[in-house]
Amino acid sequence: MEYLPNILFALALIAGIGFFSRNVKRLSRNIKLGKAVEVNDNKSQRWTNMAKIALGQTKMVVRPIAGLMHIIVYVGFIIINIEVLEIIIDGLLGTHRVFAPLGALYNFLIGSFEVLAFLVIVAVVVFWIRRNVIKLKRFLKPEMEGWPKKDGNLILYIELVLMFLFLTMNAADFQLQQMNAEHYTKAGAFPISQFIAPLFDGMSISSLVLVERTAWWLHILGILAFLNYLYYSKHLHILLAFPNTYYGKLKPKGEIDNVEAVTNEVKLMMDPTADPFAAPAEDTADPEKFGASDVMDLNWVQLLNAYTCTECGRCTSECPANQTGKKLSPRKIMMDTRDRLEEVGKNIDANNGEFVSDGKQLLNDYITQEELWACTTCNACVEACPVSIDPLSIIVEMRRFLVMEQSAAPSDLNNMMGNLENNGAPWPFNQMDRLNWTQES
C-alpha cells in the first residue's frame, strides 16, 4: 500500500503520454496525406522566423492589448509547467519538492511561477470578457457558432482551473510548512498563495494534507488531460506554431506558384528552335490534376496550416471582401480544410488504413465557389496571421481547379481570358485598335 500512489501516478502518466502519442501519429498521418513539397531552402531565415514569430510572438503585439495578454498566458502557462518536471519526479519516487535543495534559486522559481499564475488568471478573465461580454465582432462570425465558441471558452476555463489548483496546492503546502508537518520541509516562496493560506486557518494537518494532495493530483491529471485535449482543440497551435512558422512562405507575398506542366508548355511554345510536332519523351508523365478539389490535392504544408489555425479571426477581420459583406472568411477556409481533413482521417481509420470515397470533397461540400471568387488575392489574411498561415494558397489552388479542370470560372473572368487569348489584352479589342487614337488629328 505504501507504493500505491506511485504506481497509480505511473499508470496515469503512461496512459496520458500513450494517448498523446497516438494522437500525434494520427495528426502526422493526416498531414502527410498532402502532396510532397520541398521547403528546405534558406534554413537560417526559417529558424529566425520561428524564433521571432512562434517564440517571440512578434506578430501578436500588432494589436497591443490582445498581444500582451496572449504573451502572458503563453509564457506563463509554459513556464509554470516547468514545475511539472518536479511533480513527475515526486509522483514517481514518492518524494516532495525534490528540487528544494536548490535553495534561493528554488525560492525564486516558485515565486516567479506564482506571479505568472496570477497574471495568467487576470489575462484569462480579460479574454473571457472580450469573448462573452464585450463580444468582439470577429468572434461572432457564422463559422464560430457551435463547437468553436464552446472550445474557445472551455480552454479559458481549463487554464483558469489549472492555475487555481496550482495556487491552492502551494497555499496548503505553505500552511503545512508553517505547522512543521512531516515531509513538508520549508522551501519555496509564495508571494500569491500566502494570501490564500489564511482560508485554511484552524484546519488540522491531516485535512490540510488532503487539500494539498487533492490539488496536486488534480493539477497533474488536469495537465495530462489538457495535453490530450489539444488534438481536438484550436489550441493545437501551441505545438504546431513552431513547425508552421519554420515552413512558412519566404517568397514575396504577391508571388503565386506556377503549375510546372503549364510553365513547361509555355516555354516550349516560346522556344523558336523547338519542334511543335515532336512527340513527348517516353518517360514523360501525364499532367497531374490541376489545382485542388479536396484535401489530398493540397500539399502537406497547407494541411499543416489548417491544423495550426488558432481561429483568432485576425485574417477575416482584415479581409476586404469580408468587410464589404462578401461570404468569404479566410478563417472559415482554414477551419473547413481542417474539418474535411479530420473527416478523411476518420474514414481511413474506419477502413483499415484505406480511404473509401464518401462522395464528398472540400470544394462545394465545405467551401463554396462564391467564397472562392470573392477573394481579391490581396494577401491581407496572410499578412495578418500571427503564425504564418497562408489561406490564400488554398483559395488559389481551388480556383485553379475550377478554371483548368472544370472551366467553371465566372463569366467576367472567362470573357477576360478569351480576350487575352484572342486580342492579347483583357479588353474586347485588339492591341492595334488601342493605338488608333494616335492617328487622330
Q: Is the pLDDT of residue 266 over 80?
A: no
Whole-number mean pLDDT of the chain?
89
Asked if residue 408 belongs to a domain, the reply is: yes
- 197 and 269 share one domain: no
Q: Which residue has the cell 516567479?
A: 112
Residue-wise burial string across 373-393, b where 16 or more C-beta atoms lie within 10 A, e elsewhere: bbbeeebbbbebbbbbbbbbb
Long-range contacts for 342-347 (Cβ within 8 Å, ≥24 apart)?
342/30, 344/30, 344/33, 344/294, 344/295, 344/296, 345/26, 345/29, 345/30, 345/33
Read off the DSSP letter of residue 198: G
How far apart CA 216 and CA 214 sit, in angstroms, is 5
Per-residue pLDDT of 14-23, as tens digits, reads 999 999 999 9
Q: Is the pLDDT of residue 361 over 90?
A: yes
Asked if residue 422 belongs to a domain, the reply is: yes
Q: Please check whether residue 369 is in contact with residue 406, taking contact to mean a CB–CB distance below 8 angstroms.
A: no
Question: How many percent of the chain have pLDDT more than 70?
Answer: 94
Asked if residue 46 belongs to a domain, the reply is: no
Per-residue pLDDT of 177-228, as tens digits, reads 989 888 888 888 899 999 999 999 889 999 999 999 999 999 999 999 999 9
Predicted confidence at residue 283, as pLDDT, reads 62
Asked if residue 121 belongs to a domain, the reply is: yes
Predicted confidence at residue 281, as pLDDT, reads 63
Per-residue pLDDT of 50-83, as tens digits, reads 999 998 888 888 888 888 888 888 877 777 777 8
Asked if residue 296 belongs to a domain, the reply is: yes
Predicted confidence at residue 168, as pLDDT, reads 95
Read off the DSSP letter of residue 294: S
Q: Is the pLDDT of residue 441 over 60?
A: no
The mean per-residue pLDDT over the stretch 147-171 comes to 93
How far apart CA 292 and CA 304 sit, in angstroms, is 16
- 228 and 100 share one domain: yes
Q: Is the pLDDT of residue 87 over 80?
A: yes
- 405 and 301 share one domain: yes
Predicted confidence at residue 45, as pLDDT, reads 94
Asked if residue 169 belongs to a domain, the reply is: yes
Q: Per the structure, how many domains does the chain have?
A: 2
- 313 and 233 share one domain: no
- 229 and 84 share one domain: yes
Q: Is the pLDDT of residue 243 over 60?
A: yes
Write the CB contacts of 366 (distance below 8 Å, at least 6 apart in sequence): 336, 337, 339, 340
- 267 and 402 share one domain: yes
Stretch among 302-316, 380-394, 409-423 having the lowest mean pLDDT: 409-423
Predicted confidence at residue 269, as pLDDT, reads 75
Predicted confidence at residue 162, as pLDDT, reads 92
Q: Is the pLDDT of residue 48 over 70?
A: yes
> CB-side exposure of 27: number of CA atoms within 13 Å?
21
Asked if residue 255 belongs to a domain, the reply is: no
Per-residue pLDDT of 365-409, as tens digits, reads 999 999 999 999 999 999 999 999 999 999 999 999 999 898 888
- 363 and 415 share one domain: yes
- 134 and 169 share one domain: yes
User: Residue 286 burial by CB count (10 A; 0-12/13-18/19+): exposed, middle or buried?
Assistant: exposed
Strand partners, 367: 363
- 264 and 339 share one domain: yes
Q: Give the model's confidence band at 285: pLDDT under 50 very low, under 70 low, under 90 confident, else very high.
A: low
Predicted confidence at residue 411, as pLDDT, reads 84
Per-residue pLDDT of 166-179, as tens digits, reads 999 999 999 999 89
- 266 and 203 share one domain: no
Predicted confidence at residue 22, as pLDDT, reads 95
Q: Give the model's confidence band at 124: pLDDT under 50 very low, under 70 low, under 90 confident, else very high.
A: very high
CATH code for the domain of 365 = 1.10.1060
- 214 and 264 share one domain: no
Range of the domain at 234: 4-31+63-246
- 188 and 300 share one domain: no
Predicted confidence at residue 78, as pLDDT, reads 74
Predicted confidence at residue 439, as pLDDT, reads 72
Predicted confidence at residue 258, as pLDDT, reads 83
Asked if residue 294 belongs to a domain, the reply is: yes
